[in-house]
Chains A and B, each alone.
Chain A
Amino acid sequence: MSEIMQEKETTLYLGPQHPGITGNMMIELKVTGDTVQRGRTHVGYLHRGFEKLMEERLWMQCFPIVCRICVPEPDPNEENLARGIEEIEGREVPERAKYIRTMVLELSRMATYLLWMGGQSGSAGLYTMPQWTVGDRDYIIDLFEELTGGRVYHMYIWAGGVRRDLPDGFAGRVRKVLDYLEERLTDYDRLLFENAVFLKRAQGVGIIDKNKAEEWGVVGPPLRGCGIAHDVRKDEPYEVYDKLDWEVITHEGSDVYSRAMVRRKEFEQSISIVRQVLDKMPEGPVYNPGPNPLKWKVPAGDAYVRTESARGEFGYYVVSDGSLKPRRVHVRGPAYVHGVSLLEKMLKGMNIADVSFIMNSLGTCPPEIER
């Protein structure tokens, strides 16, 4: 009899490069036949030591570092660090800057969801979708390029506001892209969210125990996909989210499909949020200047700030000892829990083909696990 017939365990190394994630991460799987018995995650391929690096940089020099912590979604990092410093310093942010920040965060959420749609359908074998969504994501990235000068890493939000005001006619161009994306959503529905292949692969797969989800540290779309309505934007409103009209989106089912539907509806909601922001945006300054960046000392103290990123709660714990450089900046990425301890629990009894599919639905992002 062959080994598989005897139900002997085989070790399968998945990764470091595989389609489930944006980055490099290896999973060691113990399999019998096609079924995963248990798995262990191995990270360490992307450790760049950003937190250590920041201890030797001026406060201003930290902003180009933090945005590199998460590659597909850099803006929550910048916003978090800026807000953390503002909280310690007690620096006021002009109203217009808050609106611009909200717009940038929502645009970045949409760009991340587009990338996720591509990854999710790609790992299910639907290869048209990645081509479309990555192409459409470029329209948002073009907007970022015009606004900030950078396509992927923006370094646009900084302590006290944002770097510069919107260019002339920018709002109109944003609206045009939003209209286009809204129209495009029907195509995505047909190609992915109502696709029989996707439904077959996603429904009832990758179930998170709903009663344990809060305790396990599940956040963001996976938590809302369990029907639990927690969103940092509502729980602890930051920037101008409390002045806008929107609802927390949930979906029952706790499987890959419900997580996908949460993201799909949030994508639609983000379009409406950006439109509201553009409508309500007041005139005024966009930056409240601080001291000379070379002599900028942040008073001693600490602050924890959080943002709802496209994958869940993104948090920064900023500690200052009153010197020119940060004492400690600790980053909490949602994938830290989703990609390691939650995934190891979920791997049991999974099919090998579903591993990368489920990793994608959890939004595993190794760059933020390792920083």
Chain B
Amino acid sequence: MSTQFAIEEELKQSINNAFRSAKVTIKRQGRINVEFRSGILPAFVSYLKEYLDFKHLVMMSCVDWLEDNEFEIVYHLWSYDHKVHIMVKVRLDREKPVMQSISKLWDQAETYEREIHEMNGVEFEGHPGMRDFILEDWEDLPPMRRDFKTREFVDKTYEWRTGREDKQDVRETIAKQYDTEVPDFKNSK
């Protein structure tokens, strides 16, 4: 055991003793990564919260790994006592992403789960009220998925400003309006 990461090593030991399946890696001082399977995640984070003092839920992120056909949900927890940030990463099947809610443990998780549900389409079991967060009456593919094509959506939803159809040079339109010629702006060398 190196003395440099004493606290981190100790935490790693405790986590491994309690949960054998957790794959713990120490990234640097104050940063621990844990890869975990989704089945008993609420039990795992509640263990971190109650026994190892990870009281502060920093945030929940969702990363779309389209090529692996998986979502990665990342729980960021911070311990004020140990001064360690832990990232618990859980991979979900992209076809049918279902996760258990942790809103019983942290009230603010409710908001994060609503956002991930809306932006990535992940279902959260046991969430108290899954309603819209940012988007309203959204019927398209969840927008933070990587197969959501922003440009196609823009073309479908919005109209281009007049004078910009068919890749027309907007300067020509303006010049026509003011009854002048398009100035020659070529860079001279």
Bound form: Cα–Cα A309–B85 in Å: 18
* A308 within 8 Å of B (CB atoms): no
Point out the residues of chain B lying under 8 angstroms from A327, CB to CB. 63
* A241 within 8 Å of B (CB atoms): no
Q: Is B59 within 8 A of A330, CB to CB?
A: yes
Bound form: Cα–Cα A272–B146 in Å: 47
* B179 within 8 Å of A (CB atoms): no
Q: Is A47 within 8 A of B76, CB to CB?
A: no
Point out the residues of chain B lying under 8 angstroms from A340, CB to CB. 108, 111
**Which segment, of A13-21, A106-114, A212-220, A352-360, faces chain B?**
A212-220
Q: Is A336 within 8 A of B134, CB to CB?
A: no
Q: Is A217 within 8 A of B106, CB to CB?
A: yes
Point out the residues of chain B lying under 8 angstroms from A204, CB to CB. none
Least CB distance, A229 to chain B, in whole angstroms = 10
* B41 within 8 Å of A (CB atoms): no
Least CB distance, B141 to chain A, in whole angstroms = 12
Give the interface size class of chain A.
35 or more
Q: Is A214 within 8 A of B80, CB to CB?
A: yes
Q: Which one of B55, B59, B111 lies within 8 Å of A214 (CB-CB)?
A: B55
With contacts A44-B133, A304-B85 known, is A341 near B110, CB below 8 A?
A: yes
Using an 8 Å CB-CB cutoff, how does the interface string of B33-71 with A read, 1 for contact, 0 for none? 000000000000000000000011111010110000000
Q: Is A328 within 8 A of B143, CB to CB?
A: no
* B150 within 8 Å of A (CB atoms): yes
Bound form: Cα–Cα A330–B56 in Å: 18
Bound form: Cα–Cα A47–B136 in Å: 11
* A55 within 8 Å of B (CB atoms): yes
Q: Is A44 within 8 A of B136, CB to CB?
A: yes
* A236 within 8 Å of B (CB atoms): yes
**Which segment, of A149-157, A178-186, A248-256, A312-320, faces chain B?**
A312-320
Point out the residues of chain B lying under 8 angstroms from A49, CB to CB. 143, 150
Q: Is B61 within 8 A of A328, CB to CB?
A: yes
Point out the residues of chain B lying under 8 angstroms from A52, CB to CB. 143-144, 148, 150
Bound form: Cα–Cα A340–B135 in Å: 15
* B181 within 8 Å of A (CB atoms): no
Q: B129 — nearest CB in chain A belongs to which residue? A: A40
Q: Is A236 within 8 A of B30, CB to CB?
A: yes
Point out the residues of chain A lying under 8 angstroms from B144, CB to CB. 51-52
Q: Is B150 within 8 A of A230, CB to CB?
A: no
Q: Which one of A43, A53, A317 lies within 8 Å of B61 (CB-CB)?
A: A317
Q: Is A315 within 8 A of B61, CB to CB?
A: no
* A337 within 8 Å of B (CB atoms): yes
Bound form: Cα–Cα A217–B56 in Å: 6
Point out the residues of chain A lying under 8 angstroms from B87, CB to CB. 302, 304
Using an 8 Å CB-CB cutoff, how does the interface string of B110-141 with A read, 1 for contact, 0 for none? 11000000000000000000001111100000
Interface residues of B in 60-115 (CB under 8 A from A): 61, 63-64, 74, 76, 80, 83, 85, 87, 106-108, 110-111
Residues of B within 8 A of A (CB): 30-31, 55-59, 61, 63-64, 74, 76, 80, 83, 85, 87, 106-108, 110-111, 132-136, 143-144, 146, 148, 150
30 A-B residue contacts at CB 8 Å?
Answer: A44-B135, A44-B136, A49-B143, A49-B150, A51-B144, A52-B143, A214-B55, A215-B55, A217-B57, A230-B80, A235-B80, A235-B83, A236-B83, A236-B85, A304-B76, A306-B58, A313-B58, A317-B61, A317-B74, A327-B63, A330-B59, A330-B61, A332-B58, A332-B59, A332-B76, A336-B59, A340-B108, A342-B108, A345-B107, A370-B134
